[in-house]
């Protein structure tokens, strides 16, 4: 069955077509010179190709060896891969037992307690904390004991709504230690969104801070938690643990709220860890899909941890003394995998950054690299574009010579931004890794490898180990073999770190990801493959919009808008945006007696901010008399998408619309 949502394959971002000529960049020679850099784990295309071949032809051998090499097991596994997409029972390393916290903390702390695990670069540049593996282990054990004392047991869910501070990582690891399933909610979400997630996962404990700090400002976290928990749907929450970040004197609810520091003082810094089955859930992370409520993506312990560790090792080519810095928020999957689990499982030093790229100046990222001698740096195209616009002088002032690998994630990177990143930040002497993946894939699935893959600006290049990408025709589901032709991107055969389910809704998981194109995992992205086998990601083909690397569901934004009492119907589409990748345009029709005031646009934007969060605010609101609709009354978003993307002269056949005459007024309204 072909994918059922509206097909907008190739609608946006024809990255490759815009380029007059595509240049292939060889691996910088410095990376292969052992006098200047540690020898890359993979340093020839031959090596990559033979490892990839083994990973797909003999996955049991390949991933069995890798899992024994990179992870410590309490009980060895016998079966490597198990199950299939068809049967919906994918599992890896059955019989195996391990603990993610032991792998990320204990084993390094026991061997090398003084090694720095976390460098916290606080909001103010002078506010830096270094936390060793030994200290991390003690604090994680304390928090694990606090949670146990509150009755948290293996398999329970714990919600975490916290800013970018080491205590967030301690809370996550403490959950993993005792087998509790952590569910981190991005601290930019509103009280209503937080409530939905806390109610869905049924957490009895929420961990938060009094406030956060970001860009010189205080961010309310505890008061958002209070608002969320005031609702009946969150009645099961028994305790809120509050870390004091700013000391602003937030109200504490008697019997429910507990201060982090008071509980930690009472707790013993030793706590045995729970031996988890490889397939026990490690965490839930809610993400947006095409329809309805956000999905609690379930990741399990063994396969996820292996994906995290393997990709940090090979894609960032991490070596023992490296300082690895991922600028994502811990509330999204990139933070989970590439700030926390990946680097810590390998025992390297990871940087946790609390501030913004431009606070107090646009040199912040570059000063951070210089100050901590960062070797791998990972950020999003939006940040790169914003900093590029602010001028080269900020980069030029800093010494970036420690860098070896610079990465990009979250959205397609346009060649201009890629070239600037390569030349100005990497100085042409670093590997640029454009890494493609998703919350559901757990870890990177398509990317260059620093020591071997020649790169092309705008292409995520080649599949990681175990990944077999295929392009399918959205209408027929047939495989597309033609060079440069766009299709939907799907993956043949399961890989260790893929999501296993949607929390308490396995049938939705199967319907969304593996039934749309039988025998394949469906990514929701469009892509093409060039003559060298390089993959070019074209953007989402479903109703997901990607704004500054934030993944948003059009359905969720539409439902937020429709909750306003003047709104009759809302349709949301993504428009190409030079800075944020895509921007949200909302087309809204009003109820007959609605009060059309000047401030209505603003009110509608505020409604979305309140219901979802500030990052989901529409950039433009278009009040329309009527939407373009089919005769059966369905809004044709494809037409709206073309109009906002300046393709209103190529709308195609509009005669099937119930009333084609609505189009000219919409076009003139958008492009006036």
Which positions touch ligand WTA (CB under 6 A)?
287, 332-334, 409-412, 434-439, 460, 523-525, 537, 540, 546, 551
Residue among 3 and 239 whose Cβ is closer to ligand WTA: 3
Q: How far apart are CA 523 and CA 514, in angstroms?
A: 10
* CB 534, min distance to ligand WTA, A: 13
Residue among 342 and 524 whose Cβ is closer to ligand WTA: 524
* CB 537, min distance to ligand WTA, A: 4
Residue among 387 and 537 whose Cβ is closer to ligand WTA: 537
> Residue for token digits 């345009």?
585
> 476-505 b/e with 16+ CB inside 10 Å = b?
ebeebeeeeebbbbbbebbbbbbbbbbbeb
Residue among 352 and 417 whose Cβ is closer to ligand WTA: 417
* CB 333, min distance to ligand WTA, A: 5
Contacts of 206 (CB under 8 A, 6+ apart): 158, 159, 160, 161, 198, 225, 229, 237, 239, 240, 241
* Overall size of the chain counted in residues: 672
Report residue 561 as tokens.
């808008």
Residue among 108 and 540 whose Cβ is closer to ligand WTA: 540
* CB 468, min distance to ligand WTA, A: 18
* CB 653, min distance to ligand WTA, A: 28
Residue among 142 and 551 whose Cβ is closer to ligand WTA: 551
* CB 615, min distance to ligand WTA, A: 12
Q: How far apart are CA 541 and CA 360, in angstroms?
A: 38
Say if CB 450 and CB 490 are below 8 A apart. no
**Residue 19, CA distances (Å) to 26, 46, 208, 458 in order:** 19, 29, 47, 10
Contacts of 199 (CB under 8 A, 6+ apart): 233, 234
Report residue 270 as tokens.
């030793």
Q: How far apart are CA 329 and CA 651, in angstroms?
A: 39
Residue among 385 and 627 whose Cβ is closer to ligand WTA: 385
* CB 527, min distance to ligand WTA, A: 9
* CB 297, min distance to ligand WTA, A: 8
Say if CB 497 and CB 307 are below 8 A apart. yes
Residue among 460 and 586 whose Cβ is closer to ligand WTA: 460
**Which sign does the torsion angle of CA 326, 327, 328, 330 carry?**
positive
Residue among 322 and 329 whose Cβ is closer to ligand WTA: 329
Say if CB 360 and CB 216 are below 8 A apart. yes
The H-or-E segment that residue 60 falls in is helix 59-70
Contacts of 325 (CB under 8 A, 6+ apart): 350, 351, 353, 368, 369, 372, 374, 376, 377, 378
The H-or-E segment that residue 217 falls in is strand 217-220
Report residue 662 as tokens.
């609505």
* CB 438, min distance to ligand WTA, A: 4
Q: What are the DSSP calls for 300-352, one per residue?
A: EHHHHHHHHHHHHHHHS---TT-EEEE-S-TTSHHHIIIIIIHHHHTT-EEEE
* CB 556, min distance to ligand WTA, A: 14
* CB 437, min distance to ligand WTA, A: 5
- Which three-class secondary structure state does DSSP give residue 542? coil
* CB 328, min distance to ligand WTA, A: 8
């Amino acid at each position: 069955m072909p994918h059922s949502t509206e097909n907008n394959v190739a609608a946006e971002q024809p990255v490759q077509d815009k380029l007059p000529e595509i240049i292939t960049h060889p691996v910088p020679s410095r990376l292969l010179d052992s006098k200047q850099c540690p020898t890359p784990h993979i340093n020839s295309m031959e090596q990559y190709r033979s490892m990839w071949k083994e990973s797909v032809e003999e996955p049991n051998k390949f991933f069995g060896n890798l899992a024994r090499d990179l992870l410590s097991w309490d009980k060895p596994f016998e079966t490597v891969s198990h199950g299939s997409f068809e049967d919906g029972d994918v599992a890896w390393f059955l019989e195996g037992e391990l603990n993610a916290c032991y792998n990320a903390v204990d084993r390094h702390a026991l061997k090398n307690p003084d090694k720095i695990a976390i460098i916290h670069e606080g909001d103010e540049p002078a506010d830096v904390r270094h936390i060793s593996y030994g200290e991390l282990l003690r604090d994680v054990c304390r928090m694990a004991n606090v949670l146990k004392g509150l009755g948290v047991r293996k398999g329970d869910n714990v919600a975490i709504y916290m800013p970018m501070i080491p205590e967030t990582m301690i809370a996550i690891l403490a959950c993993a230690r005792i087998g509790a399933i952590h569910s981190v909610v991005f601290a930019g979400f509103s009280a209503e969104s937080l409530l939905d997630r806390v109610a869905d996962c049924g957490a009895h404990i929420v961990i938060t801070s009094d406030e956060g700090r970001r860009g010189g400002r205080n961010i309310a976290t505890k008061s958002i938690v209070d608002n969320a928990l005031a609702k009946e749907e969150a009645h099961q929450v028994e305790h809120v643990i509050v870390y004091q970040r700013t000391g602003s004197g937030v109200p504490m609810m008697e019997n429910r709220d507990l201060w982090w520091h008071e509980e930690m003082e009472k707790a013993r810094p030793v706590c045995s860890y729970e031996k988890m089955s490889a397939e026990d859930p490690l965490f839930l992370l809610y993400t947006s899909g095409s329809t309805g409520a956000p999905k609690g993506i379930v990741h399990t312990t063994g396969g996820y941890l292996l994906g995290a560790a393997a990709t940090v090792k090979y894609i960032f080519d991490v070596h023992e003394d490296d300082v690895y810095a991922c600028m994502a928020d811990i509330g999204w999957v990139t933070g989970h995998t590439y700030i926390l689990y990946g680097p810590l499982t390998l025992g390297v030093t990871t940087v946790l950054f609390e501030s913004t790229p431009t606070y107090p100046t646009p040199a912040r990222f570059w000063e951070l690299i210089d100050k901590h001698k960062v070797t791998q740096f990972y950020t999003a195209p939006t940040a790169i574009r914003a900093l590029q616009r602010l001028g080269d002088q900020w980069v030029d002032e800093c010494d970036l010579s420690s860098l070896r690998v610079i990465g990009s994630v979250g959205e397609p990177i346009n060649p201009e931004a890629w070239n600037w990143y390569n030349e100005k930040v990497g100085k042409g002497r670093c590997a640029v890794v454009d890494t493609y993946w998703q919350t559901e894939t757990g870890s990177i699935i398509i990317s260059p490898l620093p020591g071997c893959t020649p790169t092309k600006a705008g292409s995520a290049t080649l599949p990681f180990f175990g990944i077999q990408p295929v392009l399918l025709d959205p209408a027929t589901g047939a495989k597309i073999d033609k060079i440069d032709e766009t299709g939907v991107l799907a993956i043949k055969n399961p890989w260790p770190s893929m999501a296993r389910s949607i929390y308490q809704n396995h049938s939705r998981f199967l319907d969304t990801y593996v039934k749309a194109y039988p025998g394949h995992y469906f990514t929701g992205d469009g892509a093409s493959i060039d003559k060298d086998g390089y993959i070019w990601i074209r953007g989402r083909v479903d109703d997901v919009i990607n704004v500054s690397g934030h993944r948003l569901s059009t359905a969720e934004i539409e439902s937020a808008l429709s909750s306003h009492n003047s709104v009759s119907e809302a349709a949301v589409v993504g428009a190409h945006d030079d800075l944020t990748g895509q921007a949200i345009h909302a087309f809204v029709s009003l109820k007959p007696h609605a009060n059309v005031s000047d401030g209505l646009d603003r009110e509608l934007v505020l409604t979305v901010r309140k219901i979802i969060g500030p990052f989901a605010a529409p950039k433009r609101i278009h009040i329309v008399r009527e939407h373009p609709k089919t005769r059966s009354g369905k809004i044709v978003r494809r037409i709206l998408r073309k109009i906002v993307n300046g393709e209103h002269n190529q709308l195609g056949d509009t005669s099937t619309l119930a009333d084609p005459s609505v189009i000219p007024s919409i076009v003139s309204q958008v492009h006036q």
